């Protein structure tokens, strides 16, 4: 079986858990006799291709094999990201609007037909433009390769997956690692929401990383439950060895590692830390990450007068993440809405007792992490205090947690993903 897979990042150049998940998943699929062509906007050339063949979208011209713009557009049927839908528009106005948009697309597209586009592959201010052009390149790649099924990861690549499906007629599987409701709460970006919904509707099967996410897909996006399948993430620890670090402080260390954004619950971590320090002053707190709540978090720490016990490291990657876990005595993930959450697995593998929110997908598969409601800062503070104060609790969490995490293997998850591929292929027959 051959899969045309669309992602946005791949190790060693990653900005979060999505690239790491794709890496483990593709290795697991290779062990299940699935060949993966992995397309990404901007490959650096140093990606591990032992289990995949990387296609760099920046090296692909749109489109060498079509003789005209009209020929390509007739195959893909759409181009631009962004909706011109307006409320209360009458049918005549709508028809005129669509025709105008089609003319605009053709004129705009002609300018870079058969040209290469250098993607940044980042999450910058021109992200929507890159998402749109990535879809065009996806159509070109789909016309130039043989494969059995298409797999697109998260909203950034859903348009690419749709374009590939329309060009090739092959079934589309989309993978929901997070939704706009996870990222933004109820104050969603409607443009992203519509892209997500379009991908889910066009897909032959939808994979969600947890039952928590599955419920959001069904209830918030109106997707048929029959085609939504949960496959929990795993974690890949091959080639990893335990680090021995020289600690520069005598105090215990409690760590938050993740984006400092609403979704990850950093403000609840700070409030709980303030409570812990009143009961157990011999502790330091580390917030490792970056994000839009960074400055506000720093100001809150200063206002609480706990800055001498609080450290902000900025974004960490690679060995620095593992080193941070080696320094830690407790790891906390107080996410407001976490589709899955791989970092608790990494912490538990590093023998760090872990506290997670009940509002995380990983809570569905972990028995030996302490679980609290993200908003309950008293319960969160009590859990931190218990792990610091009572070594027997911490020791039990470490021993049981390591065994539990070692059982979560990408090979097993990939077996289930392959079954989803087979179901999608059979649904087209």
Task: Report how far Cα 335 is from the mean position of its chain's Cα atoms.
Answer: 14
- Cβ proximity of 315 and 340 under 8 Å: no
Residue 65: other Cβ atoms inside 10 A: 11
Q: What is the sign of the dihedral through the CA atoms of 102, 105, 111 and 116?
A: negative
- Cβ proximity of 215 and 237 under 8 Å: no
The pLDDT score that the predictor gives to residue 89 is 39
- Cβ proximity of 134 and 57 under 8 Å: yes
Alpha helix positions (H), 51-126:
69-76, 91-110
Biggest distance spanned by C-alpha atoms of the chain: 73
Give me the residue label for tokens 């470490």: 398
Residue 240 backbone dihedrals phi, psi, to 5 degrees:
-105, 135
Q: Do domains 2-234+411-427 and 252-406 have the same CATH topology?
A: yes
Whose CA is closest to 9, among 118, 120, 149?
120
The pLDDT score that the predictor gives to residue 72 is 46
Question: Could you tell me the CA-to-CA distances from 319 to 48, 186, 194, 198 in Å, in that order?
Answer: 17, 35, 37, 38
pLDDT string in tens for the chain (429-residue length): 999 999 988 887 777 678 888 999 999 999 999 999 999 988 888 888 888 999 988 888 765 444 444 454 455 554 443 333 333 434 455 445 445 545 555 555 444 445 666 776 666 667 777 887 788 788 888 988 999 999 999 998 998 999 899 889 999 999 999 999 988 887 888 888 988 999 999 999 999 999 999 999 999 999 999 999 999 998 877 666 666 777 778 899 999 999 899 889 999 999 999 999 999 999 999 999 999 999 999 999 999 999 999 999 998 877 888 899 999 999 999 999 899 988 899 899 889 999 999 999 999 999 999 999 999 999 999 999 999 999 999 999 998 888 888 888 899 999 999 999 999 999 877
Q: What is the DSSP letter of 250?
A: S
Q: What is the DSSP letter of 393?
A: H
The pLDDT score that the predictor gives to residue 123 is 64
Q: Which two tokens stand for residue 304?
A: 């609480």
Cβ-Cβ contacts under 8 Å for 395 (sequence gap 6 or more): none
Separation of alpha carbons 120 and 407, rounded Å: 37
DSSP 272-306: HHHHHHHH--SEEEEEEB--TTHHHHHHHHHHTT-
- Cβ proximity of 140 and 116 under 8 Å: no
Cβ-Cβ contacts under 8 Å for 186 (sequence gap 6 or more): none
In this structure, whether the domain defined by 2-234+411-427 belongs to CATH 2.40.50.100 is answered with no
Separation of alpha carbons 355 and 344, rounded Å: 8
Separation of alpha carbons 80 and 102, rounded Å: 10
Q: Do you find a cis peptide bond into 199, omega within 30 degrees of 0?
A: no
Q: Which CATH number does the domain 252-406 belong to among 3.40.50.2000, 3.40.50.1820, 3.40.50.800, 3.10.580.10?
A: 3.40.50.2000
Whose CA is closest to 325, among 350, 290, 354?
350
Residue 233 backbone dihedrals phi, psi, to 5 degrees:
-70, 165
Taking the alpha carbons at both ends of the chain, their separation in whole angstroms is 16
Q: Which two tokens stand for residue 132?
A: 């749109």
Residue 277 backbone dihedrals phi, psi, to 5 degrees:
-60, -25
Claim: this prediction has a pTM higher than 0.85? no
For the chain, the domains span: 2-234+411-427, 252-406
| List of E strands, 343-429 | 354-357, 370-372
């Amino acid at each position: 079986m051959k899969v045309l897979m669309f992602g946005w990042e791949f190790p060693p150049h990653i900005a979060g858990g999505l690239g790491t998940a794709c890496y483990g998943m593709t290795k697991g699929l290779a062990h299940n006799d699935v060949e993966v062509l992995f397309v990404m906007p901007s490959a650096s050339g140093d990606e591990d291709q032992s289990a995949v063949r990387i296609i760099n979208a920046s090296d692909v011209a749109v489109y060498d094999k079509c003789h005209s713009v009209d020929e390509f557009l007739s195959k893909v049927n759409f181009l631009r990201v962004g909706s011109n839908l307006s409320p209360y528009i009458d049918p005549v106005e709508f028809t005129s609007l669509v025709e105008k948009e089609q003319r605009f697309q053709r004129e705009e597209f002609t300018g870079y037909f058969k040209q290469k586009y250098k993607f940044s592959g980042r999450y910058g201010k021109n992200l929507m433009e890159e998402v749109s052009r990535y879809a065009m390149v996806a159509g070109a790649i789909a016309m130039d390769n043989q494969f059995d099924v298409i797999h697109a990861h998260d909203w950034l690549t859903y348009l690419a997956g749709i374009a590939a499906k329309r060009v090739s007629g092959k079934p589309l599987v989309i993978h929901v690692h997070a939704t706009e409701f996870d990222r933004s709460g109820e104050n969603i970006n409607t443009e992203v929401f519509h892209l997500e919904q379009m991908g889910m509707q066009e897909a032959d099967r939808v994979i969600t990383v947890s039952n928590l996410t599955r419920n959001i897909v069904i209830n918030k996006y109106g997707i048929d439950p029959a085609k939504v399948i949960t496959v929990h993430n795993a974690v890949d620890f091959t080639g990893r060895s335990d680090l021995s670090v020289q600690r520069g402080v005598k105090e215990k260390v409690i760590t938050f590692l993740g984006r400092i954004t609403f979704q990850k619950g950093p403000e609840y971590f700070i409030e709980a830390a303030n409570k812990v320090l009143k009961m157990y002053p011999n502790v330091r707190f580390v917030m490792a990450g970056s994000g839009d709540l960074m400055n506000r978090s720093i100001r809150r720490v200063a206002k609480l007068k706990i800055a001498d016990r609080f450290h902000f490291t900025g974004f960490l990657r690679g060995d620095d993440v593992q080193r941070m876990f080696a320094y830690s005595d407790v790891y906390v993930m107080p996410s407001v809405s976490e589709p899955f959450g791989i970092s608790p697995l990494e912490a538990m593998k590093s023998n760090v007792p872990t506290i997670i929110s009940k509002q995380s997908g990983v809570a569905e598969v972990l028995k030996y992490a302490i679980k609290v409601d993200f908003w309950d800062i008293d319960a969160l503070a009590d859990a931190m205090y218990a792990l610091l104060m009572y070594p027997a609790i911490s020791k039990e969490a470490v021993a049981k947690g390591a065994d539990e995490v070692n059982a979560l293997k990408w090979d097993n998850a990939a077996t289930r993903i392959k079954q989803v591929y087979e179901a999608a292929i059979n649904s087209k027959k």
